[in-house]
Structure 1
Amino acid sequence: MAKFVNYISEAFQELKTNVTWPEWAEVQRLTIIVAVFSVVFALLTYGVDQLFVKALAGFFNIIK
């Protein structure tokens, strides 16, 4: 158990001293970019899904 606690404390120490964290403004900017991209991707996925629904409905109406 002592090895595990030592590992965790060393990991936190390394995160504090050796990792370069981005500035808060950059984090906010990148978060907005990811959110916008996610919404656009979701809308595109919805659009393609609706296109396939209409195409399949049309196909099945033709073969009826």
Structure 2
Amino acid sequence: MEKNNFFLGIYNEFFHCITWPKWEDLQKITIIVFFFSIFFSIFLYGADSFFIFLIKKLFSL
């Protein structure tokens, strides 16, 4: 396969076969990911704090 045909195939795939999401959908998904990331980081912080507290209590006996 020639390089020219390879890059032409990439171009055709990229611009004619891929369906890109609309700008509104990208904004909604970005907001969902942002808030889920914040929630998940707070949850993990709480779980980590709980286990640190539990381990300190168990080993301080």
TM-score (norm 1): 0.78
Unaligned runs of 5+ in 1: none
Partner of 1:57: 56
Unaligned runs of 5+ in 2: none
Bigger mean CA offset, 42-51 vs 9-18: 9-18
CA RMSD of aligned residues (A): 1.7
Q: Distance in 2 between matches of 1:4 and 1:41?
A: 46
How many residue pairs get aligned? The number is 61
Percent identity of paired positions between Structure 1 and Structure 2: 31
Q: Distance in 1 between matches of 2:47 and 2:14?
A: 43
Partner of 1:21: 20
